Amino acid sequence: MVKEPKKVDTASGPKDKLVKLGEHVTDQIEKGEQPTIELSVRGLSNVVYDKKTEKLGIGDKTSERAFFNVAHAKKFLQTIEVAAISKSLLDINKHASLRDVFYMAKRTIPGSKTNVVDEQTESDKAIEDLELITEFTREQLNINANKMGSVAGKVIVEDSGDTIDWSKLGSGGWSIPSNVENILFKKIDAKYIIYMEKAAVWERLHEDKFWQKQNCIIMCSQGQSTRGVRRLLQRLANEHKLPIYVLTDNDPWGIYIYSVLKYGSISLAHMSDELAISDVRYLGVTCDDVLKYKLERHYIKLTEQDIARLKQMAEYDWFKDHKEWQKQFKAMKTAGAKVEIQSLSSRGITFISDVYLPEKIKNQEFID
């Protein structure tokens, strides 16, 4: 069973939630009870795919973490320590990276030779705990993930006191921050968003003024999408009902990038409500495109790893009954080969902007 969607509790922001957590623990101590936190189990055993919402989510298994349990004591401490760090960041209105939080938490427990954390994975896990406990994202707890990616289009936003016009930023575009929670969308004049995995392809479309001609937004990360990019896409999809078309290489990695955007990821299943975007559709490059646009001569042989990845993905709950994706997986396996987006450049440098994308979008050739 999937956990109920979280109740909207407008009266309590991230800071209130952290204070409540602290009060919960001190209350227990004052009553002479053992300090205990209850939280949902993370990890594969409690990750479920919800067919209705088309998102990965966290199941209803919970576990208790008790301070006087030798197996729990350190994790308990780490969670409380990171909660205190997050609270102090919110107090002074500053943001820290995951790595910063690790160093801030890495102090020796007084009267001992033990550090609160020794590895970043420990503070990272504690941050995920806090996401579950508070039901806020780490970004809302003032902890940022990686910064990556660029965006352009006829959009005006307000951010940190500045008014920024995404259509007037030269060849570079706006550099997407790691944390997009406080961005205000002032004006949006676009019919859809094209999100691509490669910055070089973004530069191609940008130079061709694709966003201007097609009235859309172009956005990229580099490789797997950062959380900042995913949240920005989700906010544009939710708040402005913009469809999102994903453009990746025709390979297992490209399809996985799409999968994470649309359905969420296993490691962040507890954050799918904030990160997964049901309105995302896969534009290409599909196995059919390879034939239609005569890209077979640019086939690159699948590696062992590619083949294993393909098999694994074909068995995902959200792909296993999906006819179109099964067709794609089969076609790629039969060809034994993958194809890159940039192979379209063999048809001419602006072929992607002048022919491929307009045709695909006009004919609504997406995989949903």
The catalytic residue among 49, 103, 192, 356 is 103
Interactions with a copy of itself, residue window 133-172 (CB under 8 A) = 144, 146-150, 157-164, 168-172
Burial label, 64 (beta-carbon count in 10 A; 0-12, 13-18, 19+): exposed
CB atoms within 10 A of CB 244: 22
Question: Which listed residue (282, 340, 357, 360) binds a copy of itself by CB under 8 A?
Answer: 340
112 near a copy of itself (CB under 8 A): no
118 near a copy of itself (CB under 8 A): no
9 near a copy of itself (CB under 8 A): no
Residue whose CB is less far from a copy of itself, 137 or 150 = 150
Residue whose CB is less far from a copy of itself, 177 or 264 = 177
Q: Which of 276, 242, 238, 234 is nearest to 57 (CA)?
A: 276
3-state secondary structure of 219: strand
Looking up tokens 């078309």 gives 245
State the minimum distance, in angstroms, from the CB of residue 348 to a copy of itself: 8
193 near a copy of itself (CB under 8 A): no
Decide: 79 and 66 in contact? Cβ < 8 Å: no
Cα distances (Å, whole numbers) of residue 81 to 102, 143, 150, 220: 11, 14, 34, 35
Residue whose CB is less far from a copy of itself, 52 or 297 = 297
Residue whose CB is less far from a copy of itself, 70 or 92 = 92
Question: Which listed residue (107, 191, 213, 294) binds a copy of itself by CB under 8 A?
Answer: 107
**Helix pair 73-92, 120-134: axis angle to 10 deg:** 70
How does DSSP classify residue 207? H
CA atoms of 261 and 183, how far apart (whole Å): 20
316 annotated active-site: no
State the minimum distance, in angstroms, from the CB of residue 117 to a copy of itself: 11
Q: Which of 60, 41, 57 is nearest to 49 (CA)?
A: 57
User: Residues 61-100: x/- map of binding to a copy of itself (CB under 8 A)?
Assistant: ----------------------------x--x-xxxx-xx
Interactions with a copy of itself, residue window 217-236 (CB under 8 A) = 222
DSSP secondary structure string for all residues of 235-268: HHHHHH---EEEE--BSHHHHHHHHHHHH--STT
State the minimum distance, in angstroms, from the CB of residue 228 to a copy of itself: 9
CA atoms of 338 and 295, how far apart (whole Å): 10
Decide: 3 and 41 in contact? Cβ < 8 Å: no
Question: Which listed residue (29, 291, 308, 349) binds a copy of itself by CB under 8 A?
Answer: 349
Binding residues (CB under 8 A) for a copy of itself: these are 89, 92, 94-97, 99-100, 102-104, 106-107, 144, 146-150, 157-164, 168-179, 183, 199-200, 202-204, 207-208, 222, 297-298, 340, 342-346, 349-350
Q: Catalogue the active-site residues.
A: 103
